[in-house]
Structure 1
Amino acid sequence: MKTSYGTIPAYITKDASEIRELMHPAVHGNARQSLAEAIIQPGEKTQLHRHQVTEELYHVTQGFGMMRLGENCFAVAVGDTVLIAPGVAHCVQATGESPLHILCCCSPAYSHDDTELL
């Protein structure tokens, strides 16, 4: 299976980030995980949320941001990868002058039903 970035439409998730599902079981037929690109515009922030079932990996590919992970807040930049365990509240803000781009790997695959806004 192969997808092409330019053919994948973006949409807004429950946490208010712009997402492109690069690979998702509901669309592409893979079995256990999803891969998406999230784009957060300068000065904007995703809503604080958590997933009870899904484990996430965030990998920053462009921009700068501040990540809240549970009670901790820390800067993220290109090359950083963050593990978000199930049940941990999190959000991210783009703090640079350009959009923050994050690759998001979810296992099991991302689901609106597993997203609890806080």
Structure 2
Amino acid sequence: VSLEGSEFHNLENLRELYLQSNRIASIANGSFQPLRKLEVLRLDGNRLLHFEVWQLSANPYLVEISLADNQWSCECGYLARFRNYLAQSAEKIVDAARVSCIY
């Protein structure tokens, strides 16, 4: 399953989005940008590998994010940015202790 980026247009008032356990393998960059009022985003339990989670910083009201139980990349360049985002957003990522990468 992939999100191409157009699925959330015209949903700028959406506050909660539950996408956990949907076998999502890829999410296009900028997919969540139209969701300007998004507060809760659950992406846990999917098959995500390279989604640039640091793009979520563009959602100013986002206060709860779930990212665990995915297949996050351990590639050095990606992992460095991913870890930096986790550190900067630790108070938002409710399952941070369970987030890991797959070798």
Give the structure-2-normalised TM-score.
0.30
Q: Which has the higher contact order (CA 8 A, sep 6+)?
A: 1
Q: Which has the higher strand share?
A: 1
Q: Which has the higher helix share?
A: 2
Give the structure-1-normalised TM-score.
0.27
